[in-house]
Each structure stands twice: as C-alpha cells, then as structure tokens.
Structure 1
Amino acid sequence: MSQQTLKSLILVSLVLLPTLVAGDCTCEQSGESSSRNNKVVLRYKVAALVIILVSSAIGVCLPILGKRIPALSPESNLFFLVKFFAAGVILSTGFIHVLPDAFESLTSPCLKENPWGKFPFTGLAAMVGSLGTLMIDAFATGHYRKIHSGENAATVDEENQGDRDGHVHLHTHATHGHAHGAIPVSVFPDEGLSELDRIRYKVTSQVLEMGIVVHSVIIGISLGTSQSIDTIKPLMAALCFHQFFEGMGLGGCIAQASFKSASTLCMAIFFSVTTPVGIAIGIGITNVYNENSPTALIVQGLLDAIAAGILIYMALVDLLAQDFMNPKVQSNKRLFLGANIALLLGAGFMALLAIWA
C-alpha cells in the first residue's frame, strides 16, 4: 500500500469517525460513576428546588404588588420596559431552548425511522400548539365578552330607569366627570383600561400560564434526574434567570387583568411551584427514568414542541404586539425606543444562556 493511499484512508477515517460516533445510539440508561457522590448531587438538587421556587415567587409577585409599589404600577414606564424584557425572555425560551430540545428528542436515532424519521413531527406539534392557542384565545375572549356584555347590559338598564333622555352616564378616569353615549363602554378607573383590554389580559395570563407549566415541568424533571453536578450548576442559574423574568411577564398580565385576590394568589402559587414540583418528580424517579427510551423521547419531544408553539405565539401576539400597539408606547418615542432595547436585551440574554444550559 502506497503512502499516498494510506494518507487518504487516514483522512477518510478522520472525516467519517465523528459521523459514526454521532450516529451511534446507546439507548440504555447511562451508567453511574463509582466516584460520584450521590449525596452531594442530591444537596444541589434540593438547593436548586428552593432557589428556583424563591426566584419564581419573587418574579411573579413583583408586578402583582405593583399597586403598592408606584415604580411597578401597570401604568409606569418601568413596568412596560420590564414586560418587554420578560417577553423577550419568553420568546427566546421558545425559539432557542424549548424548540431545539424538541427537535433533538424527535430526531433521535433511538426512535424508529418509520414514522419519526420520515416526517417533521416537531414542526407539526409546534404548529398545533400555536394554532390551538389561537383558537383557545379567540374562544375565551368571546366567552368573556359575552359574560361581561350581559352584566353591563343589566347595569345600564338600571341606570336608565331614571334617565328620560336614555343617556348612559359613565365615570371615567380621564375626565373625572360624566360622558353621555348610547353604547355602554366600561372604563376601569384604577388603571384606565377598557373592558376589552381587561378581558384580553385575563385570557393572555391564563393561556400563557398553561404554556409555561408544560415546559417548566419537563425542564424540572430534567434537572431532577440529572446526576452530574456540572450539568446541574449552569442549569440552576439559567432556570433562576428564566423563571424570574418569565414570572415578571406572567405577573404583569395577571396584574393588568385584575383577577379577584383568590384567583391571583392561585395563579401565582401555581406558577411558582411548577418547576420545583418537576424537580421533585425528577429526584423521585432518578433510578428508573431513562431519558433515552423511545417513550420518554416521544413524550418529551412532543410536549416541548407544543410548549414552544404556545410560548412563541403568546410572546409575539399577546404580549409584544399588544403592548407595542398601546397608545402610551406609540405616543412616547423614548418609551418606544426603550421597549425595543428591552426586548432585544431579554431575548439576547436568554439566548446567551443556551451556551451553558
């Protein structure tokens, strides 16, 4: 064999070796290192559970407490900037963190070629998540509007009993007086939001929480089942950042929707405990969970893809489009510029975290 032929074979081997290694799938549960200290790993997981719980609770509660903190009032410029930053975090989470994980799971060589290798199920599931969110959004908005229209019609009839001219008297925050008109338009004096705005925020907060819950449980289980401290540390830091600002975005919608105190408390608690519950589940199933099994890959991949579709739709349509069209943002050039910068920073920082987690 000539030296040139030998060099060619070595070169071909070096080119093909990474491909062969990448294509080799060990669909067995990874073995544990005998030197690994399971107690230390468990301490890190418990610490992550507590820290993430606290971060989530602080993030979702700050906007809700905005009525008592003037700087965080739903009508303040700072509140808008924080919401844009949080929307950037949510958008980046869907595109950079959740969707690629779904692609990785559903294109794994551990799955059968037929049907998983012959059709882009990840894109299909993400599309279903987005379209499903749109339909739920539209249905819930219509449902709320019918309920509130019925309530307002009854109120208007009562007010018209003593008004011979048939005019409706409305007390508005802007005029601090009465306005006359034939169409009942309810304006909430505490924040200057119209009834339709309030309905939109109610629907947005509930659907957004649904999308957040799906991927939060999955990522919590991933952290809980991990047996590598080198994996847990960056994932814990990324999740704290992610949960805090995702909570800020959700909390902002809850605050503007003005739910009753009990509903507000339930939504805040539900968001705060979702990822910690996922971590606890992961800790409990560490010894029996195999993340490379076909069932785990399919379930996790489909749920991730659906969650990504929900988060991307909510961030673009219900958070960013709605707030960018707000007259307060449109009429204030500095606030509009700040909103764009906050959005880019939120999306950029969350994308950067993909390097470590």
Structure 2
Amino acid sequence: MAPTQRQSNSSANAFATTAFKFLLFASIAAQAVSAHGSHGDVVHDAEPALSANETLDACALSVSDSAYSQSFHIAGIFIALAVSSVGILLTMVLANSKSKRFTQLLQILKMFGIGVLAGTAWIHLLPHAFEEFQSPCLDAGWAKYGTGYVGLFGLIAAFIVQLIEMSAGGGHGSRSLHAKSAGVKSGTASNDHDHDHTGGMDVEEGSMDGMPHPHSHSTETSVILLEAGIMFHSIIIGVTLGVTPDDAFGTLLAAICFHQMFEGMALGVLIGNLRFSNLTKTLLCIMYPLITPIGIAIGIAVRSTYNENSPGLILTHGILNSLSAGILFYNTYAELMSEEISHNNTFRSYTLTFKAACFMAMYLGAAAMAIIALWA
C-alpha cells in the first residue's frame, strides 16, 4: 500500500474513532444530567401562559404507568441493528464493486441518498432543534437567546467542517479540479456520441458510477464528518426509542428502522466510493448501524430515571441536533449537490430521461423522510 494511502486510512480511522468516542460520551453525559438534573432551575417567564407551579410540574420527573416490556425493547435493538446493517452494507458492496452493471443503479441510489440527507436536515433535525430550544424548561441563560442557538450551533458546525476539509485536502481544491477535468473528458466523449447502454451515461475508465472517484483527503474527511453528524441524531432517537412505552414503541420502531435504512443506503454509496481499504470501509459501515442500538440500550437502562423535560437533556439534544443539521446542510449542498450535480460535467452529459430519473430519485428520498416524520 502506498504511503499516501496508509496516511489516508490512518487519518480516516482517527477521525472515525474520535467521532465514535464523542458520541458515546455525549449520550452518557446526557443521561447523567437527565437522572440528576430534573430539579434544576427552570425558566418561569419563557411561556407567560404557564404559571411558576405549572412550569415546575411540566418539567418535573414523572413516572409513566404505561405498559413497558423490556424484552420487547431488547428485541428492538436487534431489529434496528439488522435493518440499518442491510441498508448500509448492501449499498457499500454495490458501490465497491468494479462491475459496470451497477453504474445506473448506483447513480439512482446516490441521488436518492442526497434527498434522504436533505430531508433529514430540513424535516427531522432542524424542527427538533427549534422545539428543544423553545422549551420552557430551559435555564434562563439559554432561554434568553432561545432558538437563535439553532442557527448559531449549525453555523459553527458548518464552518468547522469546511476548515477540517480544507486542512485535510491541503486547501488546493484537488477534488474539484479532478472532477472538472474528468467531466471535460466525459463531455468530449458525449460530443462524439459515444454513449453506452447505460442510458446515455459516459463512464470514465476506472469509474464505477459515471463519476470520477474522489481522491482527495478532504473528500474522505467529508464523508466521515457526514457520518458523525448522522450518528449524533441516531443516538438521540435510539435513547428516545429505548424509553418509549409499549403502546407507541412498535410504530416508532418501524418509522426509525425505515429512517435508518434510508440513511444507511446514502452513507453506503458514499463510503463505497472512497479510496480506502475494504477493511476501513467495512469499519466505517459497521459504526453506523451500531449507534442506534447503543442508544436504545442506554434508554432501557435509564428509563426509571429518564426525564425528557430535564433542562440538561433538552439542551444536549438541542445542541446535538443543531450541530448535526449544520453538518448535513453543508455536506448536502456544498459537497453532494454542488460537486455531484451542479458543477459536474459528467452529470450534465447524461440523457434528459436519465437526468429526470435522477432528480426524481432525489425528490423521492426527501419525500420518504417527510413521510417518516409523521411518526419519528
């Protein structure tokens, strides 16, 4: 293996390990605050319609008398693990394949995945973050700025992602230059009407999906950070699922499984296209399906002391959702839509019919996440 390849893999593993440890620490910290912070100071004037006593009652720990089957919830751990694994590993294997038979399918899946990520940011992360920072249970210091924190943390996350990518890629824009030069080659081929059987797509030699492989360290870092942003949200929904009583658990589990499967498909295509070793790609793929089951397990363990209205827990959820939204917004628009669609000459060389199919797949991915938001 070349020294640059080993360096790339080492850097990727370091980022992935750090992100994973941070997720676990954040989730454990959140539950600790939930268990011990339920009697902390609350804001009495955040919502004038509520009196001081009503606000205290709304934010106090309450013991639910709804039926709760621990075995049912433990089974949910393995169901979520299986569904998430199928989504990400299947698409990773397809994207990692050298066969050109999957060229058209992978492009459609990639577009579907872009829609899923956009829908996750707009419909799942952002509304939840706003809701959490509007809570009357937040301390006065946090409630004063309120929903402005959603934009603040999201903006910080986007800035940090850009800085990390620039540092990893040396700041020379090697990915964009490579994509443009490859696109020019494909565009030249299309002028000669040298189209293959894949619906008008010109497939560059060595490319699996009609686009050049990403070569720069910034691209690899971008995918890892994207996975980290998704995992922030996954730990939250996992904990929520773990404490949900039986009467709502089945519906929520089904919605979250679809949610995780679609997100996994999006990640699998992106990870499969990276120039990592198969072992590194597999490790990146394994991290994603594990995080939601870990969250469910934490939820089961802390259910008796879990207070969803604890100021510390609300704040933790709000910050993580805001950070995740910022990461997904940046990656979806600056990386995926911009470089894979808007500024990609290879994509422009596709036939009108296939481009329409690609955009329809992207819209369907966003629509799928909008529908899932009815339950999760």
Aligned pairs for 1:16-27 (under 5 A) are 20=49, 24-25=54-55, 26-27=58-59
TM-score normalised by L of structure 2 = 0.71
Following superposition, the deviation at residue 57 of structure 1 comes to 0.9
- Larger Rg computed on CA atoms: 1
Corresponding residue SS for 1:85: helix
- Contact kept, 8 Å, 2:87 with 2:264, in 1: the verdict is yes
Cα-to-partner distance string for 1:218-271 (whole Å, 9 max, x where unaligned): 111111122x22332222122111111211111111111131122111101111
- Contact kept, 8 Å, 2:112 with 2:362, in 1: the verdict is yes
Stretches of structure 2 that go unaligned for 5 or more consecutive residues are 1-46, 175-184, 187-203
Match of 2:63 among 13, 31, 45: 31
- Contact kept, 8 Å, 1:201 with 1:256, in 2: the verdict is no
- Contact kept, 8 Å, 2:123 with 2:370, in 1: the verdict is yes
Cα-to-partner distance string for 1:156-187 (whole Å, 9 max, x where unaligned): xxxxxxxxxxxxxxxx99xxxxxxxxxxxxx9
Following superposition, the deviation at residue 84 of structure 1 comes to 1.1
Following superposition, the deviation at residue 320 of structure 1 comes to 2.1
Paired residue for 1:241? 258
Following superposition, the deviation at residue 323 of structure 1 comes to 1.7
Cα-to-partner distance string for 1:289-340 (whole Å, 9 max, x where unaligned): 2121111111111111111111122122222222213333211122211121
In the aligned structure 2, how far is the partner of 1:328 from the partner of 1:116? 48
- Per mean C-alpha deviation after superposition, the further-off stretch among 190-199 and 124-133 is 190-199
- In the alignment of these two chains, the number of paired residues is 296
- Contact kept, 8 Å, 1:60 with 1:244, in 2: the verdict is yes
- Contact kept, 8 Å, 1:204 with 1:253, in 2: the verdict is no
Cα-to-partner distance string for 1:21-49 (whole Å, 9 max, x where unaligned): 7994311123221xx3332xx23322321
In the aligned structure 2, how far is the partner of 1:115 from the partner of 1:58? 40
Stretches of structure 1 that go unaligned for 5 or more consecutive residues are 1-17, 147-171, 174-186
In 2 relative to 1, CA 354–64 (structure 1 residues): closer, same or farther, beyond 3 Å?
closer
- Contact kept, 8 Å, 1:201 with 1:253, in 2: the verdict is no
Following superposition, the deviation at residue 89 of structure 1 comes to 1.2
In 2 relative to 1, CA 195–242 (structure 1 residues): closer, same or farther, beyond 3 Å?
closer
In 2 relative to 1, CA 133–114 (structure 1 residues): closer, same or farther, beyond 3 Å?
same
When the two chains are superposed, the root-mean-square deviation of aligned CA atoms in Å is: 3.0
Match of 1:92 among 93, 96, 119: 119
Following superposition, the deviation at residue 197 of structure 1 comes to 4.4
- Contact kept, 8 Å, 1:102 with 1:305, in 2: the verdict is yes
Match of 1:307 among 324, 344, 361: 324
Match of 1:273 among 286, 290, 298: 290
In the aligned structure 2, how far is the partner of 1:144 from the partner of 1:254? 23
Paired residue for 1:353? 372
In 2 relative to 1, CA 55–102 (structure 1 residues): closer, same or farther, beyond 3 Å?
same
Alignment pair present for 1:230 and 2:230: no
Corresponding residue SS for 1:287: helix
Alignment pair present for 1:326 and 2:344: yes
- Per mean C-alpha deviation after superposition, the further-off stretch among 342-351 and 18-27 is 18-27
Match of 2:87 among 59, 68, 89: 59
- Contact kept, 8 Å, 2:107 with 2:358, in 1: the verdict is yes
Give the percent of matched residue pairs that are identical in Structure 1 and Structure 2: 31
**Residue 281 of structure 2 aligns to which amino acid in structure 1?**
T
Corresponding residue SS for 1:257: coil
TM-score normalised by L of structure 1 = 0.74
Paired residue for 1:141? 169
Corresponding residue SS for 2:145: coil
Cα-to-partner distance string for 1:161-216 (whole Å, 9 max, x where unaligned): xxxxxxxxxxx99xxxxxxxxxxxxx983648657545454233211111111111
Alignment pair present for 1:221 and 2:239: yes
Aligned pairs for 1:140-219 (under 5 A) are 140-142=168-170, 189=206, 191=208, 197=215, 199=217, 201-219=219-237
Alignment pair present for 1:337 and 2:356: yes
Paired residue for 1:8? none
Following superposition, the deviation at residue 19 of structure 1 comes to 8.6
- Contact kept, 8 Å, 1:97 with 1:354, in 2: the verdict is yes
Paired residue for 1:290? 307
Corresponding residue SS for 1:292: coil
Aligned pairs for 1:64-75 (under 5 A) are 64-66=92-94, 67-68=96-97, 70=99, 73=102
